[in-house]
C-alpha cells in the first residue's frame, strides 16, 4: 500500500502528541517529587508547577537548543521542556555528585548551560536580567537566537522587571518575556497586589504583548512560535502572558489554608493534560495509545529515580574546590 502524504492535520496531531508527551513527563516527574519530598527522600524547598505544564511545554516547543531561557523558583517544567536530561535532573534533586549541578543547587537552581537553560532561581525577578543579558550576547555576537525570561505574576512587584522591559525595548533585544500568571504569589492573590496587568506594563515600555490561555498547550506553542519568529526577524522584545493555574500549594507541603477549596476544585476542569488528551482522542488517538505513552514515561521516570537514589552523594572536597573557576 502506498504511504499517504501527511496532511497538515496529521502534522498538527503529531505535534500535539509530542507536546502532550512532554507535559505528561513534567507532571509525572513533579508528582513523584511531591511524594519523594513527603517521604523525606528529597530535602529542601520544592515548588511544583502541576497545572502549569502547558506554558513550559508550549514555550519550549518554540525554542531551539541555541536559544536560552532563565527560569524561576518553579522551574522543573521549564528545565524539562528545554530538554534537561532526566537522570541529571533527579540526581540533582537528590543532592548527588552526578547531579546536573553536582548536588550543590537542588530544585531551585537546576541549570544546564549546554542546552541554554541558564538556571532556575531562588530570587524572585532575578532571572529576568539574566535572560536579558543573554539576549544582549546573542545580539552582540550576531546570533539568530532568542532568550526567554520566565517570570511569575508575583514578580511584577519587583522593579527589576520594569527595568528589563525598558532596557530590552530601547536596545531592541531578542527577549521573549513569558509571564506565567497563575493568580498567586505565595499566599497572596495577585489581584490584591498588582495595580496593572502584564499587557499594560509591556505597553508602557512599547513591548508588543499578547495574552494566551496558558493551559492550552497548542495555543501557547502557536503564539510562542509567532512571537519568536518576530523576535528572530529583529522586531525586538515581546511579552507573552500565559494565564494558568497553580493547582498545588506554593511549596510542597503547603496546606493552602489561605485558599478557597472551591477555587482549587474548579481547577480540575482546566487541566492542560486532560484538555490535550480530549483533543487527541477526537483526532483519533486511542486510549490505549495514550496509556502506552504514560507507561513509557513512568518507566523512564522510575529508572531515573532509581539511578538517583543509588548515586554517590555529593562530596565536600569537590564542592570546596569549586568556589572559584579555574581552581582556587
Ligand X SMILES: Cc1ncc(C[n+]2csc(CCOP(=O)(O)OP(=O)(O)O)c2C)c(N)n1
Binding residues for Mg ion, per CB under 5 A?
Answer: 152-154, 182, 184
Q: Three-state DSSP class for 70? A: strand
**Residue 285: exposure state from Cβ atoms within 10 A (0-12, 13-18, ≥19):** middle
Report residue 212 as a C-alpha cell: 494566551
Binding to ligand X (CB under 6 A) within 240-259 occurs at 246, 250
- In angstroms, the CA 111 to CA 279 distance is 33
Q: Of these, 74, 109, 270, 275, which contacts ligand X (CB under 6 A)? A: 74
Nearest residue to 117 via CA among 155, 143, 83: 83
The answer to whether the beta carbons of residues 239 and 198 sit under 8 Å apart is yes
The answer to whether the beta carbons of residues 98 and 315 sit under 8 Å apart is no
Nearer to other proteins, 141 or 192 (CB): 192
- Does 37 contact ligand X by CB under 6 A? no
96: partner contacted, choices ligand X, Mg ion, other proteins, none (Cβ within 5-8 A by kind): other proteins
- Does 184 contact ligand X by CB under 6 A? yes
Q: What is the DSSP string of 78-133?
A: HHHHTT--HHHHHHHHTTBTTSTTTTSS-GGG--BGGGTB----SSTTTHHHHHHH
Torsion angles phi and psi, residue 158, rounded to 5? -85, 130
- Does 124 contact ligand X by CB under 6 A? yes
Torsion angles phi and psi, residue 256, rounded to 5? 60, 40
The answer to whether the beta carbons of residues 232 and 174 sit under 8 Å apart is yes
Closest approach of ligand X to the CB of residue 74, in Å: 4
74: partner contacted, choices ligand X, other proteins, Mg ion, none (Cβ within 5-8 A by kind): ligand X
Closest approach of Mg ion to the CB of residue 35, in Å: 24
Binding to other proteins (CB under 8 A) within 92-131 occurs at 94-96, 99, 103-106, 108-109, 121-125
DSSP-derived secondary structure letter, 186: T
Cβ atoms < 10 Å from Cβ of 255: 7
- Does 155 contact ligand X by CB under 6 A? yes
90: which residues sit within 8 A by CB, 6+ positions away? 29, 304, 305, 307, 308
Q: Of these, 92, 153, 218, 271, which contacts ligand X (CB under 6 A)? A: 153
Nearer to other proteins, 102 or 276 (CB): 102
Nearer to Mg ion, 57 or 182 (CB): 182
Nearer to Mg ion, 153 or 271 (CB): 153
- Strand pairing of 188-189 and 209-213? unpaired
- Does 236 contact other proteins by CB under 8 A? no
Say how many residues touch other proteins, by CB under 8 A: 39
Q: How many residues does the chain have?
A: 328
219: partner contacted, choices other proteins, ligand X, Mg ion, none (Cβ within 5-8 A by kind): none
- In angstroms, the CA 296 to CA 304 distance is 13
Choices 2-10, 74-82, 151-159, 214-222; region in contact with other proteins by CB under 8 A: 151-159
314: partner contacted, choices ligand X, Mg ion, other proteins, none (Cβ within 5-8 A by kind): other proteins
**What is the number of the residue whose Cβ is closest to ligand X?**
152
Which stretches of the chain bind other proteins, using CB under 8 A?
43-45, 94-96, 99, 103-106, 108-109, 121-125, 154-159, 185-188, 192-194, 258, 313-316, 319-320, 323
Which stretches of the chain bind ligand X, using CB under 6 A?
72-74, 122-124, 152-155, 182, 184-186, 246, 250
Amino acid at each position: 500500500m502506498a504511504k499517504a502524504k501527511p496532511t497538515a492535520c496529521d502534522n498538527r496531531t503529531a505535534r500535539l502528541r509530542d507536546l502532550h508527551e512532554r507535559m505528561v513527563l513534567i507532571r509525572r516527574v513533579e508528582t513523584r517529587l511531591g511524594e519523594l519530598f513527603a517521604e523525606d527522600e528529597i530535602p529542601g524547598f520544592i515548588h511544583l508547577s502541576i497545572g502549569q505544564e502547558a506554558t513550559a511545554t508550549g514555550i519550549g516547543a518554540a525554542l531551539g537548543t541555541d536559544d536560552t531561557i532563565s527560569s524561576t523558583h518553579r522551574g522543573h517544567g521549564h528545565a524539562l521542556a528545554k530538554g534537561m536530561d532526566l537522570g541529571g535532573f533527579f540526581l540533582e534533586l537528590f543532592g548527588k555528585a552526578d547531579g546536573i549541578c553536582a548536588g550543590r543547587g537542588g530544585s531551585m537552581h537546576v541549570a544546564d548551560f549546554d542546552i541554554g537553560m541558564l538556571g532556575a532561581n531562588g530570587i524572585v525577578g532575578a532571572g529576568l536580567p539574566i535572560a536579558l543579558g543573554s539576549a544582549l550576547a546573542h545580539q552582540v555576537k550576531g546570533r539568530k537566537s532568542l532568550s526567554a525570561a520566565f517570570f511569575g505574576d508575583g514578580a511584577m512587584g519587583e522593579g527589576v522587571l520594569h527595568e528589563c522591559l525598558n532596557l530590552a525595548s530601547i536596545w531592541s533585544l531578542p527577549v521573549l518575556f513569558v509571564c506565567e500568571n497563575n493568580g498567586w504569589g505565595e499566599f497572596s492573590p495577585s489581584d490584591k497586589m498588582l495595580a496593572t496587568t502584564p499587557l499594560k506594563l509591556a505597553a508602557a515600555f512599547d513591548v508588543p504583548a499578547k495574552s494566551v490561555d496558558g493551559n492550552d498547550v497548542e495555543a501557547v506553542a502557536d503564539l510562542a512560535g509567532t512571537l519568536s519568529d518576530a523576535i528572530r526577524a529583529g522586531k525586538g522584545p515581546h511579552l507573552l502572558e500565559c494565564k494558568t493555574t497553580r493547582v498545588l500549594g506554593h511549596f510542597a507541603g503547603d496546606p493552602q489554608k489561605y485558599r478557597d477549596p472551591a477555587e482549587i476544585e474548579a481547577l480540575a476542569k482546566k487541566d492542560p493534560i486532560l484538555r490535550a488528551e480530549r483533543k487527541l482522542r477526537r483526532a483519533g488517538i486511542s486510549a490505549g495509545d495514550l496509556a502506552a505513552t504514560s507507561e513509557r514515561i513512568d518507566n523512564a521516570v522510575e529508572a531515573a529515580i532509581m539511578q538517583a537514589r543509588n548515586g554517590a552523594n555529593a562530596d565536600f572536597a569537590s564542592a570546596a574546590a569549586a568556589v572559584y573557576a579555574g581552581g582556587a
